[in-house]
Structure 1
Amino acid sequence: MTVLVDQLARLCGLRDRSALLVAVLFAMRGELLPLGLSVLRPIGKGDYARWLTLARLDADDTLPYIEPEWIDIDRLAPLASEPERLACLQQGLPVQAAGSPCRYFVPVQPELDVAAVLEVRTPQPLTPAQRQLIAGLDRLHRNLCSLLDENERDPMTGLLNRKTFDETIARMVLEWFDTDEAGVCSALPSQRLAFSASELERRHRTRRQGCWLGIIDLDHFKSVNDRFGHLIGDEVILLLARMLKDTFRGQDKVYRFGGEEFVVLLRCHDEADALHAFERLRQAVRAHEFPQVGHITVSVGFTALGLDDTPTDAFARADDAVYWVKQHGRNHAASHESLVRDRCIALGDKAGGVDFF
């Protein structure tokens, strides 16, 4: 009991969401002595819906396995491959799976608007007291995550705010670029896996995929507020935030930086794929009829992230691109790299006039 109390005290002092989830798993493992614990969430849609492992801790692990946030989705198991786990997710109730070892599934919520499943693998079925312990730790975890959400989320839209932006860029650069010749992320030693030859090739292709930062800015938003009032303007912001969530993938990061400006971090194979993703959003916004306001548009500027990039440098390039788009007709998406290639802007120019960092 003393060990559990110490672990609970440590939990209350954590401010990193991943560290908090791992600490909960360690606390459960110390009390339940299971074969293993995993937390998984669904990502993707339709035929591309997959199980993403947020964290896994087996009986003999000294370090947990944590899936990189921008993993190759083809590696992941389809949702339908685990019917009991899927039933737990859909019904929002614990499920005891048949077979050996025993598997007990519990619905959990590691962050706002994210439904996930805790999987507990044990040699014998859990006792009522053990299930009660799991439920209690889950409630504690949810409460602590709610406090983090208040600190890391935009209160109006529920999107991420700027607080975690720098840290996220640093982490994604490490995950994508610090990769050894075996295709393993050397910055994350607890995540190393053995791969087949075909998997190694896929890993190398994944490593060559790009990391992209995009800025989405509503066109003429001030006139919306002036003509229809701030309540209608807020409704436009909320609807756009919902469209951003629906357009981009679960593993992409969407931020509201304030006012009518949004930022997206995503992974794509190349510049054309990134342009396609941002164009999909731009066209969806243009086609949507907003209540009372009618049709509005967005301007998008984006850029590739490099190994030596700082958040300030990457943001400045995307800001230059969106500024150029706004100066040349709006309702368009353009990459900083394409604008430099076409000599629309010069490398190193500061086209925009706002410094956010």
Structure 2
Amino acid sequence: MDRRVIDSEPLKMESLLGHLVEITGHRDHDLLDISIMSALLNMVGVAQARVLELFQSHGDLLVRPRVWITDNKVQTFDEENSSADHPCEPIVNFPCLVNCIAQHKNRMEEARLDGDHALWIPIWQNEKVSTCLEIVNDKPFSPQMLQVMEGILSVYRNYQSLLDYSERDSLTGLLNRKTFDEKFARMINSKTHEPSDCNDRRHHSDVKSQWLAVVDIDHFKRVNDKFGHLYGDEVLILVANVLRSSFRSQDRVFRFGGEEFVILLRSTTLADARMIFDRFRSNIEQHPFPQVGQITVSVGFAAITQETPVVILGHADQALYHAKESGRNRVCYYEELINDGLIDNGKKNDSFEFFFDEPSAN
């Protein structure tokens, strides 16, 4: 046997262990996705791969990439690449994936017309699939490749389940309140954040900034009182689905409890932020809610500055309160309300905890 082959085995094992340590060392879904892509690139040498998110929107199951491998590099959405051409697609565009899920298989290989071979690997969690891997190679996958991938993916699957349990709201599947601080801090420290524009509060229409919005379902108490909590829970799930489909992969959506949600909108202009939030409001207004009928939401948003999360949440909450008081089913921008003299500067609301600990106006 060639001594080079013998000597390479410890190196492969060391590399594999290193990737497994990296995968299990994260407490964040984004970093976990990047780690699994890095392991597939370095250990298996695949040509292309994607981590795909599956979610419902208007009764359709859609697919959207979160992380991918192209040109021998692991890539993800970031502020500089926020307009990348990776739109949502109906899952019916991927018949092999549909068949794999329908047959409840752990993987299914597809031979494509261009000669490539694709491996679809749904990540099953409690009989459901919200994440899937698409791995593409220019030749059939060898038994050795499949064995290595299966070992890596087993660790990924188990660890993702642990993260889902700790990071996500059990009813809606959105990120929960306790993960907010970490995600917020990462956004504050992002390389495209420009404190000079934020601190002097001049958000021109062509300047990209970060934004925080607070969303509240209008008259939600009436839904629970009239139809019961089961229908109230269904409304929350459907609103969460619309939230997923209304925002980009690089944005973050949280359920803070009850009928209240928080959105972190990454690098975009004020004009676009306003348009995006109002489009979401309109999507909710036009969405059918079985039995309940029409549902609307009110939205208050503010620029993310170097202030603390409590202060910025307080600003967005003031804008939300104004939206509620002025008719509901509308989007209000904090700094515009300040400039127009419609609300105070918000300093008295620095102790923001009341917003979440007491019921909001419905």
TM-score (norm 2): 0.70
- For 2:158, the equivalent position in structure 1 comes to 143
> Residue 50 of structure 1 contacts residue 77 of structure 1 at CA under 8 Å; is this kept in 2?
no
Whether 2:26 is the aligned partner of 1:14: answer: yes
Residue pairs, 1:246-265, within 5 angstroms: 246-265=245-264
Residue pairs, 1:55-134, within 5 angstroms: 56=69, 65-76=74-85, 93-95=108-110, 105-107=119-121, 109=123, 113-119=130-136, 126-134=141-149
- For 2:275, the equivalent position in structure 1 comes to 276
- For 1:54, the equivalent position in structure 2 comes to 67
Provide structure 1 residue ranges, at least 5 long, that are not aligned to the other structure: 180-204
Once residues 117 and 166 of structure 2 are traced to their aligned partners in structure 1, the CA distance between those partners, rounded to angstroms, is 35
- Alpha-carbon RMSD across the aligned residues, in angstroms, is 4.0
Once residues 315 and 27 of structure 2 are traced to their aligned partners in structure 1, the CA distance between those partners, rounded to angstroms, is 30
> Residue 51 of structure 1 contacts residue 76 of structure 1 at CA under 8 Å; is this kept in 2?
no
Residue pairs, 1:86-235, within 5 angstroms: 93-95=108-110, 105-107=119-121, 109=123, 113-119=130-136, 126-177=141-192, 208-235=207-234
Report Cα offsets for 1:157-187 as digits up to 9, x if no partner.
11111122122222223335368xxxxxxxx
SS at match of 1:309: coil
How far apart are residue 76 of structure 1 and its match? 4.3
> Residue 88 of structure 1 contacts residue 105 of structure 1 at CA under 8 Å; is this kept in 2?
no
* Identical-residue share of aligned pairs (%): 36
SS at match of 1:156: coil
How far apart are residue 298 of structure 1 and its match? 1.4
- For 1:200, the equivalent position in structure 2 comes to none
Rate the CA distance shift 1:69–1:153 in 2: closer, same or farther, 3 A: farther
- For 1:187, the equivalent position in structure 2 comes to none
Once residues 153 and 313 of structure 2 are traced to their aligned partners in structure 1, the CA distance between those partners, rounded to angstroms, is 37
Provide structure 2 residue ranges, at least 5 long, that are not aligned to the other structure: 1-9, 101-107, 195-203, 358-362
* Count of matched residue pairs: 316
Amino acid at match of 1:348: G
Rate the CA distance shift 1:317–1:29 in 2: closer, same or farther, 3 A: same
> Residue 53 of structure 2 contacts residue 64 of structure 2 at CA under 8 Å; is this kept in 1?
yes
- For 2:317, the equivalent position in structure 1 comes to 319
How far apart are residue 249 of structure 1 and its match? 2.8
Once residues 110 and 66 of structure 1 are traced to their aligned partners in structure 2, the CA distance between those partners, rounded to angstroms, is 24
How far apart are residue 342 of structure 1 and its match? 0.9
Rate the CA distance shift 1:40–1:208 in 2: closer, same or farther, 3 A: farther
Once residues 284 and 354 of structure 2 are traced to their aligned partners in structure 1, the CA distance between those partners, rounded to angstroms, is 25
- Pick 1 or 2: higher relative contact order, CA cutoff 8 A, min separation 6: 2
- For 2:341, the equivalent position in structure 1 comes to 343
More displaced stretch, 165-174 vs 8-17: 8-17
Once residues 219 and 78 of structure 1 are traced to their aligned partners in structure 2, the CA distance between those partners, rounded to angstroms, is 30
> Residue 52 of structure 2 contacts residue 131 of structure 2 at CA under 8 Å; is this kept in 1?
yes
Once residues 109 and 30 of structure 2 are traced to their aligned partners in structure 1, the CA distance between those partners, rounded to angstroms, is 23
- For 2:308, the equivalent position in structure 1 comes to 310
Report Cα offsets for 1:47-89 as digits up to 9, x if no partner.
xx99867265988xxxx75434444354447899xxxx97776
Q: Which has the larger strand fraction?
A: 2
How far apart are residue 149 of structure 1 and its match? 0.7
How far apart are residue 29 of structure 1 and its match? 5.7
Rate the CA distance shift 1:207–1:297 in 2: closer, same or farther, 3 A: closer
Amino acid at match of 2:67: L
More displaced stretch, 147-156 vs 4-13: 4-13
> Residue 79 of structure 1 contacts residue 86 of structure 1 at CA under 8 Å; is this kept in 2?
no
Once residues 311 and 116 of structure 1 are traced to their aligned partners in structure 2, the CA distance between those partners, rounded to angstroms, is 34
> Residue 37 of structure 2 contacts residue 74 of structure 2 at CA under 8 Å; is this kept in 1?
no
How far apart are residue 8 of structure 1 and its match? 3.5
Rate the CA distance shift 1:10–1:163 in 2: closer, same or farther, 3 A: same
